């Protein structure tokens, strides 16, 4: 075994839903002992740092049931089966904001909660935005408030907890550094 590798001995799916699968794996640890791992399987997601010509961030406010409150985030969404992340990002930007980007750049991918979930978010930068005349419809169970703000305003929202998720906090810090240069 590789250093720290945990070899899967058995796997049991407890729940398979529309978005996630919950699984319990029994693993052999590097020292030969056994342990259980509770895992969330996720298809992956994208997130988009959308910047206007004026250097403002396009954000969405929406209720997050897991937190039991609304938070302000960068546009994001789940990758559909067979869909490439960049296509998801282009689709989600239009569905959530009504914008299309003429300049779309991949930034990086990262794990959101590697202690128990395999979700990977693919982050993109969208620039040279234009409003879409008849944008694609968003999810019917998704209610969002579109907003634009400066980097300084976004930093204030991070301080007071309105921006509360890691992908958006990362995006604010990333774009602040990018706009400096």
**Which residues are known catalytic residues?**
140
Please tell me the distance from the alpha carbon of residue 96 to that of residue 13, in angstroms, as a whole number.
32
User: What is the Rg, in whole angstroms, of the alpha carbon atoms belonging to the chain?
Assistant: 19
Alpha helix segments (H runs only) across the chain: 85-97, 151-159, 166-180
3-state secondary structure of 89: helix
- Residue 12 host element (H or E): strand 7-16
Spell out where 17-153 has E strands.
21-28, 34-41, 45-50, 57-64, 69-73, 76-78, 99-111, 120-131, 144-149
Reference 76, options 141, 158, 165, 176; nearest CA is: 165
Residues contacting residue 17 through CB under 8 Å, at least 6 positions apart: none
The angle, 0 to 180 degrees and rounded to 10, between the axes of the packed helices 151-159 and 166-180 is 150
């Amino acid at each position: 075994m590789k250093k720290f590798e945990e070899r899967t001995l058995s796997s049991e799916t407890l729940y398979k839903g529309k978005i996630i699968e919950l699984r319990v794996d029994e693993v052999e640890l590097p020292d030969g002992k056994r342990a259980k791992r509770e895992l969330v399987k996720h298809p992956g997601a994208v997130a988009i740092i959308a910047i206007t010509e004026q250097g403002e961030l396009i954000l969405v406010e929406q209720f997050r049931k897991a937190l039991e409150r609304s938070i302000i985030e960068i546009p994001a969404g789940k990758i559909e089966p067979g869909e490439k992340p960049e296509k998801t990002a282009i689709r989600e930007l239009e569905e959530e904001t009504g914008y299309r980007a003429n300049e779309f750049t991949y930034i990086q991918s990262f794990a959101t909660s590697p202690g128990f979930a395999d979700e990977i978010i693919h982050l993109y930068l969208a620039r040279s935005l234009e409003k879409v005349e008849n944008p694609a419809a968003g999810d019917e169970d998704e209610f969002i408030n579109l907003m634009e703000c400066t980097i300084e305003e976004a930093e204030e929202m991070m301080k007071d907890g309105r921006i509360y998720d890691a992908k958006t906090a990362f995006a604010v810090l990333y774009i602040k550094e990018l706009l400096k240069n």
